[in-house]
Amino acid sequence: MKGDKKTIKVKLLNGLGYAPQKGKIIKIKINGKSYYKQTNSKGVATLKLPSLKKGVYTVKYKFAGNTRYKPSSATNRVAIYTTKNPTLSVKSTTTFGQGAGTPLKVAVVAGGVPLEKRTVKFMVNNHTYAKTTDKNGLASLPINLEIGNYTVHYTVVKDSKVNSKSGSVAIKVKERTATTLTWKSADTFTEGSKTFKVLLVDDNNKAVTCQKVKLTVNSKTYSATTASNGYASFKISLSHGTYTMNVKYAGSNDYLASSTSKSITVNVKSVKGINEVNTISDLSAYLKSSKNCQVGNSKIKKLVDSLTKGLTTQTQKATAIFNYVRDTLSYSFYYNTKYGAVGTLDAKRGNCVDHTHLLVAMFRTAGLATRYVHGDCTFSSGSNYGHVWAQVLIGNTWTIADATSSRNSIGKVLNWNTKTYSLNGRYASLSF
């Protein structure tokens, strides 16, 4: 404003809240130009603003640090305007859905410049609410009133920079339209990336368009927007198992919220061969620890670090780990888990499940995504048994790792028939 000092003051304090010794250099940048000012004994650096046109400017200030103090920086905004008399205007709808909480927005502007951090008092239905304008000069009041017609009065509170100004607006609170969400996909799928669809309609069975719908499955939430036909589509990759698909529409100023859920079954995808192309985008589950797969355990990490020292490629690391397990552990016949990864490392023996626990833990400790595979296999002896092995992700290929036989190598199996096995499932962890 005309007559103002037009200065910016920046205060530098240490972690205890005290000002460092005076003379610290503060870099202040505004409107593309940088200025350097020294702090006084109170830690304050002062910049007299250059001539600026009316508007809102971002001010950046930075202390570069020294041998005693770390660097520090911050930003703020400064408004240059030519009048103390603001203008007010409504910048939102004046028709509100009951219970939606949609805000009535009033813009506070002085000479075309939005005024930030100004107090606006709203008066409606015998209540008064104080709100503060945001960086765009907007003060927002959520409308949570019963159905009917109201008049909202609003006033900018006077201060040293801005005069008071008042206005009013007539608003209407209406009943919102009910909605229904319907699951529009099947309930049985094969594993991999699939598109799931839901339909959002109103109480007249008319498509509700351009609305955000959320689907939560397996502790992850996905968002999609309804198209002109009311359908929202979600592309999600799921491994085999049973899942509950929870779908929610939060509602809007015009529509009520709705939700639905669906139980789906994802079946194992039949494959030819034992090495498979990866179709999974989120591999985090295949790098984590589980009850019997102690990723990052101190014993396992020390061994993995030793085996992979100097190795740079995924193939080199996977091969070194695989060869150690294959050549060091003996095979023992029993069912399910007995030792777990760490116990198997200590015992130096185990069945296919425990062999795989150790392999998976070691691969994952080396940063290689790995999964368990369970199937029914015909072995060289002619016997058929349930069997467990690992698949480690090398490049974009899930590569088999079955260390139960000295005849096997990474990516290759010779102790059972890989052309006739029956696949039961692939897992991030084993429950048996």
Q: Which of 124, 144, 174 is the last residue of a domain?
A: 174
Tell me, yes or no, whether 11 and 57 share the same domain. yes
Cβ-based neighbour number of residue 387 at 10 Å: 22
First to last CA, the chain: 75
Do 160 and 98 fall within a single domain?
Answer: yes
Walk along the chain (432 residues) and give the pLDDT tens digit of each residue: 555 667 889 999 998 899 999 999 999 999 999 999 999 999 999 999 888 899 999 999 999 999 989 999 999 999 998 899 999 999 999 999 999 999 999 999 999 999 999 999 999 999 999 999 999 999 999 999 999 999 999 999 999 889 999 999 999 999 999 999 999 999 998 877 899 999 999 999 999 999 999 999 989 999 999 999 999 999 998 877 789 999 999 999 999 999 999 999 988 766 667 898 898 889 999 999 999 999 999 999 999 999 999 999 999 999 999 999 999 999 999 999 999 999 999 999 999 999 999 999 999 999 999 999 999 999 999 999 999 999 999 998 999 999 999 999 999 999 999 989 999 999 999 999
Q: Is the domain of 291 the same as that of 380?
A: yes
Q: Give yes or no: residues 281 and 361 share one domain.
A: yes
Query: Could you give the CA distance from residue 404 to residue 423 in angstroms, rounded to a whole number?
Result: 18
Burial of 19 (0-12, 13-18, 19+ CB in 10 A): middle
Task: Provide the residue range defining the domain that includes 235.
Answer: 179-267
CA distance 175 to 117: 34
Q: Are 172 and 96 in contact (CB under 8 A)?
A: yes
Let me know whether 67 and 125 are in one domain: no
- Does 343 map to a domain? yes
User: Quick one: 75 and 94 in the same domain?
Assistant: no
SS3 content of the chain, % helix, strand, coil (to 5): 10, 45, 45
In a domain, 320, yes or no: yes
Q: Among all chains, which residue has been given the structure tokens 């015909």?
A: 378
Residue written as tokens 């660097």?
A: 71
Is 412 a member of any domain?
A: yes
Of 152, 174, 196, the one marking the end of a domain is: 174
Identify whether 432 is part of a domain. Answer: no
Question: Same domain for 299 and 358?
Answer: yes
Q: Are strands 241-249 and 212-217 parallel, antiparallel or unpaired?
A: antiparallel
Instruction: Decide if 1 is inside a domain.
Output: no
Residues 6+ apart with CB under 8 A from 200: 179, 180, 181, 207, 208, 211, 213, 226, 230, 231, 232, 249, 258
Using CB atoms within 10 Å of the CB of residue 128, give its burial: 0 to 12 exposed, 13 to 18 middle, 19+ buried: exposed
Helix axes of 352-365 and 340-347: crossing angle, nearest 10 degrees: 110
Query: Which one, of 361, 258, 259, lies nearest residue 302 by Cα?
Result: 361
Do residues 240 and 268 touch, judged by C-beta distance below 8 A? yes
2: in domain: no
Quick one: pLDDT at residue 5? 62
Count, residues in the chain: 432
Q: Which of 164, 50, 52, 54 is nearest to 113 (CA)?
A: 54
Q: Let me know if residue 381 belongs to a domain.
A: yes
CB neighbourhood size of 237 (10 A): 13
User: HSE-up of 426 (CA within 13 Å, CB side)?
Assistant: 27
Q: CATH code at 93?
A: 2.60.40.10
My answer on whether 73 and 115 are in the same domain is no
Both structure tokens of 259: 């939700």
User: SS3 of 325, please?
Assistant: helix
From 80, 107, 137, give the residue that closes a domain. Answer: 80
Domain check: are 399 and 328 in the same one?
yes
- Counting the structural domains of the chain, the total is 4
Assess if residue 124 is contained within a domain. Answer: yes
Residues 289 and 420 in one domain: yes
Residues 113 and 148 in one domain: yes
**CB under 8 A, 24+ apart: contacts of 302-311:** 303/345, 303/362, 304/362, 304/365, 304/366, 308/366
Q: Which CATH number is 348's domain given?
A: 3.10.620.30
**pTM, entire model:** 0.65
pLDDT score, position 307: 97
The whole-angstrom distance between residue 183's C-alpha and the CA centroid of its chain comes to 25
Verify that 281 and 262 share a domain, yes or no: no
